[in-house]
Chains A and B, each alone.
Chain A
Amino acid sequence: MKKAGRKTNDIILQTITKIVVFIIMIFSLYLFFAGHNAPGGGFIGGLMTSSAIVLLLIAYDVKTVKKILPVNYIMMTAVGLFIAVMTGVGSFIFGVPFLTHTFGHFHLPVLGDTELATAVLFDLGVYLVVIGVTMTIIQTIGETE
């Protein structure tokens, strides 16, 4: 039901989108890094990041968003799966079973005493896979005429 020959001016939507996309991105990064000790994690963080990109797709179009974010989402899914598998294989170097995770306390310059866990790397793989799969689905549906 495309109404042909009807030009609309979406300046309010586009101006709001320019601000709100950054807020959603920061919220999704917060959800990703808070997942160890609070509600959140790679899955919901990836969904929020892809919803920010969906807001860009609604306010602009597929061509413009491809120019803003030149990302091959299928490759992103593959890289995410590779990272998730390599965190499991990497535990073989230390002579421990598959997917054994560890953590340690380190002294970082700004953050002070921080607990760094290798589970974050596995979560990064989940994050990239969720963004890749969601954006592949939405862009494939959006591109077909």
Chain B
Amino acid sequence: MFETVIIISLALIAISSFLLIIRLIKGPSVPDRAVSLDAFGINLIAITAIISVVLKTNAFLDVILLLGILAFIGTVAIAKFLEKGEIVENDRDQ
């Protein structure tokens, strides 16, 4: 029963990731691709959590927090590049 639930949830996340990759390839604009990559990062977090349940270890819990932080910083950097044209400004008041 438990293994069935694990397999079904992994399959559903795999389907969701596949659809996100389709949006990543076809996406007509750059923000579409950015949002697709952000959601793909969240899917990776879910996959890591389920795999750590399967392997009965808690060594991957750091990876989950790390992926969350990296996905946030990456998405913010892409958004700032699209908005202002540069990621790290020298002086914002100029």
In contact, B91 and A63 (Cβ under 8 angstroms): yes
Cross-chain contact B88 with A58 (CB below 8 angstroms): yes
B22 proximity list for chain A (CB < 8 A): none
**Least CB separation from B72: chain A residue:** A20
Please list the residues of chain B having a beta carbon within 8 angstroms of any beta carbon in chain A. 59, 62-63, 65-66, 69-70, 72-73, 76-77, 80, 83-92
Complex CA distance for A145 and B94, rounded to whole angstroms? 13
With A58-B76, A61-B91 known as contacts, the answer to whether A27 contacts B65 (CB < 8 A) is yes
Question: A62, B89: Cβ atoms under 8 Å?
Answer: yes
Residues of A within 8 A of B76 (CB): 13, 55, 58-59
Is the Cβ of A61 less than 8 Å from the Cβ of B69? Answer: no
12 contacting pairs across A/B (C-beta < 8 A):
A2-B84, A2-B86, A13-B76, A39-B62, A39-B63, A40-B62, A58-B73, A61-B88, A61-B90, A62-B89, A142-B87, A142-B89
Contact mask for chain A residues 89-129; partner B; CB cutoff 8 A; 1 contact, 0 none:
00000000000000000000000000000000000000000
Is A74 an interface residue when CB atoms closer than 8 A count as contact? no
